[in-house]
Structure 1
Amino acid sequence: MKTKTVTNFLKPVFLLAFVLLSVNATAQEEETESAVEKLLSKVSLSGSIDGYYRYNFGAPNDNSVAPTTSFANQSGFALGMANVILGYEGDKVGFVADLVFGPRGEDAVFLSDGSSQIVNQLYAYWNVSEKVTLTFGNFNTFLGYEVISPTGNFNYSTSYMFSYGPFSHTGLKADFALSEKWSAMLAVMNPTDYTENNPFDTYIIGAQVGYSGDTGSAYLNFRYGNEGEPGEVGPTFQADLTTGWDVSEDFYLGVNATYLSTEPQEDGDASGFYGVALYPQYKTSEKFTLGLRGEYFGVYNNGLVDVIGLDDENDGTVFAATLTGSYDIGDLTLKPEVRLDSTSEDFFTDNDGELTKSLSSFVLGAIYKF
């Protein structure tokens, strides 16, 4: 009788304990799921893949003749890159890991060594306040109109100003929100495009003043410092203006102007380059936009080697006009374009092997972004 009474008593106790344990386990699972969901809500994954076809009119198509700008300069069907960007955006801190694979990516990180060639950007940031953000690591340049990723450019081929300006920097920068429309930035960085380390005992400084309104934005950018080994070159100064405005609902106009000068370490004249480009674009429908890039670019005192033809004083200029169509098919964008490069001195080679001042070419770019 006593045993039966104890058994009858323990049954509801065990049942209650089991229920409590089940409820506690369920609560823990819900808390774990909530924590995972909260973490995933702060993580982003994006990127793109691209490739292209390029053909010269009246010039060899064997990779020996192409505009001397970056990326889209191979003949026939060619690869761009695969780009994967992982980001984490916390309440105060976050990071970006931007990885690139393929020819375009290798050209973008050309001063990297070994496996680090896949790193396009790798930085952490801290939102010190609503008005101040600090960024530490490797980030793409703040100068210029065009960018490395083809998803950020309207034209598939790139400009001379972009190709011979900086691509990326490694260092520390501070962004300041001066007001709702005005911003500023200051940075201390390694010599340009030395993103893994600093092989020289020199640094450069960067600065930016920006304005962003309802219909467009404008940024005035600067960099200054010794970009190479002390004793070989003097300091480099670059000023760059990047701006773009929605003139109407369907018409957009972008402008980029730049000037770069490198002082000699010894006696002599400074060398460098300068340029200006207009980017008018007209949206004809929801899926198709037509745009033109007209660029005038010049080098002086042989500021760049083997870029364009030079005269007896080591000066030269080029005018490049690129007409591009952009057609969206969901997340896939097709970009057919016709490009004409015309130099002040003979530089390109025609089908007869003769030097000529001009080169015309066709490019069809395909970009998928996610």
Structure 2
Amino acid sequence: MKKITNTKYVKNIFASALMLVATTSTFAQDEEAAEEAPKLEISGSVDAYYRTAFNDAGVASTDPGTAFANQTGFALGMGNLIASYDAGKVGAVLDIVVGPRGAGATFNTDIVDGIVNQAYVYWNVSDKTTLTMGRFNTFLGYEVIAPQANFNYSTSYLFSNGPFSHMGLKADFALSDDFSLMVGVMNPWDTNDISGTGEYSFGAQLGFYGQYLNFYYDSGKNGGLGTEIDFTGGFDISDAFFLGINAAYDTNDAADTGFYGVALYPQIATSDAFSIGLRGEYFASTIDGGDNYDDVTAITLTGSYSVDNLILKPEFRLDSIKDGFTDSDGAASDSLATFALAAIYSF
């Protein structure tokens, strides 16, 4: 029996298969090209707040001695605009800030009249190694400058007494899924534009399972030798309960001064939109040649309610320092109680 073959049908099948392969290849190339295409992203935040102080004696001094959010009445925090350009292996970030919080973070007159928070370039040398050069926010501490990234709106004494940013070169290494290492060489403490003294600082960070041990060595901190050791971490006690931890020890041989302290951050999520958290902090700074200490305890209770990209944060804070404040009669007061309501929008 003669076998009949429909050559036209076979040719159509073959042509269709070739077209499918070509189309799939084109789609794959398009996706690969899209992934490799440079990406420009714009993000940022705007925050404002209302703050008042109250005390039985009528406290006249309303500044707790920590950075940012210390004005009374209605006040602006800062406006923040971040432009990041990612070209795959290389990229750049420009972070601009304005307002009182931005001025405080950049020392007002530091680099272009205090508007540049971060400005750096980076090179992904490999999947596990990244080099960064320029000005970048500090790796020390639990809290950061950007208010939307902190649970509490006001900041801690540990954060306020550490460096805010560094100017230099750092290398980040992903040692494994759970371990990381950063090493860097930078200008001295809070010298973010140039180092005119010939002195430099060195930093290192070891990350392990979400915990970070930080080391900072500065040959020119306030005219002397400075060293800081800092631990930052946290643990998910349950799906709704998180406990953050920050502890630090700092010393400076120029005036035989420094500080040390510890802060705990228990936080409970009561729903997808609302969480409540406490910051309990003990802080001590050495004075008079290291013989005496300023003992500080600060309790901050903060609520956080999210509506899309808007976060509302009501906050009660109590600072206790022996003779650290003055009342309306000019007499020394040991405590300062304040309330703040902050609104933060991020995009």
TM over 0.5: yes
Query: Deviation string for 1:5-58 (max 9, x for gaps)?
Result: xxxxxxxxxxxxxxxxxxxxxxxxxxxxx9x98798611110000011111012
Q: Match for 2:212: what amino acid? A: Y
Do 1:58 and 1:351's aligned partners in 2 also have CA atoms closer than 8 Å? Answer: no
Correspondences of 1:82-97 after superposition (within 5 Å): 82-97=79-94
Matched, 1:259 2:249: yes
Do 1:250 and 1:283's aligned partners in 2 also have CA atoms closer than 8 Å? Answer: yes
Corresponding residue for residue 300 of structure 2: 322
Corresponding residue for residue 277 of structure 2: 291
Do 2:119 and 2:134's aligned partners in 1 also have CA atoms closer than 8 Å? Answer: yes
Please give the secondary structure, in 2, of the residue aligned with 1:357: strand
**Structure 2: gaps (5+ residues):** 1-30
Please give the secondary structure, in 1, of the residue aligned with 2:88: coil
Correspondences of 1:29-68 after superposition (within 5 Å): 42-58=39-55, 64-68=61-65
Matched, 1:173 2:151: no
Please give the secondary structure, in 2, of the residue aligned with 1:106: helix
RMSD: 2.4
Corresponding residue for residue 137 of structure 1: 134
Please give the secondary structure, in 1, of the residue aligned with 2:103: helix
> Which is worse superposed, 110-119 or 137-146?
110-119
> How far is the alpha carbon of 1:357 from its aligned partner?
0.8
> How far is the alpha carbon of 1:228 from its aligned partner?
4.2
Query: Deviation string for 1:78-125 (max 9, x for gaps)?
Result: 110000000011220011100001110000000644634110000000
Tell me the distance in 2 between the aligned counterparts of 1:336 and 1:50: 13
Corresponding residue for residue 313 of structure 2: 335
Please give the secondary structure, in 1, of the residue aligned with 2:283: strand
**Structure 1: gaps (5+ residues):** 1-33, 305-312
Runs ≥4 in structure 1, deviation > 3 angstroms?
36-41, 59-64, 111-114
Matched, 1:225 2:218: yes
| Aligned residue among 252, 270, 279 for 2:265 | 279
Corresponding residue for residue 17 of structure 1: none
Do 2:304 and 2:311's aligned partners in 1 also have CA atoms closer than 8 Å? Answer: yes
Corresponding residue for residue 300 of structure 1: 286
Q: 1:124 to 1:314 in 2, by over 3 A?
A: same
Do 1:204 and 1:223's aligned partners in 2 also have CA atoms closer than 8 Å? Answer: yes
Do 2:48 and 2:75's aligned partners in 1 also have CA atoms closer than 8 Å? Answer: yes
Do 2:285 and 2:294's aligned partners in 1 also have CA atoms closer than 8 Å? Answer: yes
Please give the secondary structure, in 2, of the residue aligned with 1:243: strand
> How far is the alpha carbon of 1:302 from its aligned partner?
4.8
Q: Match for 2:266: what amino acid? A: P
Do 2:188 and 2:219's aligned partners in 1 also have CA atoms closer than 8 Å? Answer: yes
Do 1:238 and 1:261's aligned partners in 2 also have CA atoms closer than 8 Å? Answer: yes
Q: Match for 1:366: what amino acid? A: A
Q: 1:59 to 1:124 in 2, by over 3 A?
A: farther
Do 1:346 and 1:356's aligned partners in 2 also have CA atoms closer than 8 Å? Answer: yes
Structure-1-length-normalised TM-score: 0.81
Tell me the distance in 1 between the aligned counterparts of 2:158 and 2:275: 23
- The count of residues paired between Structure 1 and Structure 2 equals 318
Do 1:200 and 1:228's aligned partners in 2 also have CA atoms closer than 8 Å? Answer: no
Corresponding residue for residue 239 of structure 2: 249
Q: Match for 2:271: what amino acid? A: S
Tell me the distance in 2 between the aligned counterparts of 1:141 and 1:241: 13
Q: 1:219 to 1:164 in 2, by over 3 A?
A: same
Do 1:59 and 1:351's aligned partners in 2 also have CA atoms closer than 8 Å? Answer: no
Query: Deviation string for 1:129-158 (max 9, x for gaps)?
Result: 111110000000000000000011000000
Q: 1:59 to 1:76 in 2, by over 3 A?
A: farther
> How far is the alpha carbon of 1:353 from its aligned partner?
2.4
Tell me the distance in 2 between the aligned counterparts of 1:303 and 1:365: 39
Do 1:294 and 1:322's aligned partners in 2 also have CA atoms closer than 8 Å? Answer: yes
Do 1:63 and 1:74's aligned partners in 2 also have CA atoms closer than 8 Å? Answer: no
Matched, 1:119 2:89: no
Tell me the distance in 2 between the aligned counterparts of 1:46 and 1:63: 39
Query: Deviation string for 1:189-210 (max 9, x for gaps)?
Result: 0012211212321000000100
Structure-2-length-normalised TM-score: 0.86
Q: 1:249 to 1:163 in 2, by over 3 A?
A: same
Tell me the distance in 2 between the aligned counterparts of 1:70 and 1:190: 22
Q: Match for 1:287: what amino acid? A: A
